[in-house]
Amino acid sequence: MYMMRAGPEGVVSLHSSFFSPNLIESISEKIRQQEDKPGLYLVATPIGNLFDISLRALNILKKSKIIFAEDTRNSRKLLNFYEINTPLVACHEHNEIMPVVVEKIEKGEIYSLISDAGTPTISDPGYRLVNWCVENDIEVVPIPGACAFIAGLCGSGLPTDRFTFCGFLPNKQHARRAVLQNVKSKAETLIFLESPKRILASLKDMLEIFGDRHCCVCRELTKLYEEFQRGSLSKVVEYFSENEPAGEFVVIISGNKEKKINEEHIFSELAELLKKFRVKEAVEIIVEQYSVNKKAIYQKALEIKNAQN
């Protein structure tokens, strides 16, 4: 079985008595026989636990002529762990389509793009390089793997069938609150990324704008101090007011559960009621059933009644 221990810089060492030499050789042979087409591979890397990487990802990283990385120093730790010696070239938001990057890409070769952690281009640089490759007829191949917000969503206990990924919120409160107001009415689960410096302020804004919805705040996913705080927004705000936030956060909020009002349906039903009841009675039935503005419905009822006459 696997045994992990932290090294000098938090790097995990692997000791395995589970895999037999024959199995390892069989896997290695199958990897060597894998035929991979040339192009730019978007390789997902671990978000914390170094074992969260696929055999296919390791194979491509070893085969690549160059690996483009957001932070070459950080990425080198991962490559050293897996004894991968492929050259690294920095590719960040300021140079991803500059000659220092694109002139290194030649057709007929395999290249990889990785981020500091997780899936490339998800809240990280890379989409402009991908677009450049597409426009220049260079194959783009995603290799799926770890993704912080997907991991958080899966463990949140909130609905996963439909969700909106909102990424990082703006630093300034006014801009942040504007974004929250914009997604307030969405019925699907909402997902945000946040830093320890802003997490409490963002949660307080969410509580004020969304109301006391159910949420899950995930911290340090797949790492030693992984933590899930589940419950109402008010409860989570109270927790982080008393416990100093640390690490990177994924915030998952339940969607708006208020009953959506279909005006066309309401007005159609109102018109039918006016054929049987007086205006006041029809209005009271609609207001009680749909919890809508009585004055507005009364005005609409008068318009319908006049048209019917």
How far apart, in Å, are the Cα atoms of 190 and each of 63, 89, 197, 208, 257? 38, 35, 21, 16, 12
How far, in Å, CA of 200 to CA of 203, rounded?
5
Average pLDDT over residues 248-259: 89
Supply the pLDDT for residue 7.
36
Maximum Cα–Cα distance across the chain = 90
How far, in Å, CA of 230 to CA of 253, rounded?
10
Average pLDDT over residues 243-249: 93
Q: Where are the domains of the chain?
A: 37-146, 149-253, 263-308
How far, in Å, CA of 274 to CA of 247, rounded?
60
Higher per-residue confidence, 309 vs 12: 309
Are the C-beta atoms of 125 and 91 separated by less than 8 Å? yes
How far, in Å, CA of 293 to CA of 305, rounded?
18
Are the C-beta atoms of 190 and 15 separated by less than 8 Å? no
CATH 3.30.950.10, applies to 149-253? yes
- Average pLDDT of the chain? 88
Q: Has residue 178 got a pLDDT over 50?
A: yes
69-96 as b/e, with b when 16 or more CB fall inside 10 Å? bbbbeebeebbebeebebebebbbeebb
CB atoms within 10 A of CB 99: 8
Tell me: the pLDDT tens digits for 9-20? 333 334 455 667
CATH number for the region 37-146 comes to 3.40.1010.10
| Burial environment of residue 306 by CB neighbours within 10 A (0 to 12, 13 to 18, 19 or more) | exposed
Residues for the chain: how many in total? 309
Q: What is the pairing mode between strands 163-168 and 189-194?
A: parallel
Q: Which of 118, 116, 109 is nearest to 142 (CA)?
A: 118
Least confident of 81-90, 107-116, 158-167, 299-308: 299-308
Question: Which of 33-37, 162-166, 285-289 shows the highest mean pLDDT?
Answer: 162-166
Tell me: the pLDDT tens digits for 82-107? 999 999 999 988 888 888 889 899 88
* Concatenated DSSP letters of 2-53: -EEEE-TTSPEEEE-SSS-HHHHHHHHHHHHH----SEEEEE-B-SS-TT--
How far, in Å, CA of 206 to CA of 235, rounded?
13
Q: Which of 70, 66, 45 is nearest to 125 (CA)?
A: 70
297 sits in which H/E element: helix 294-308
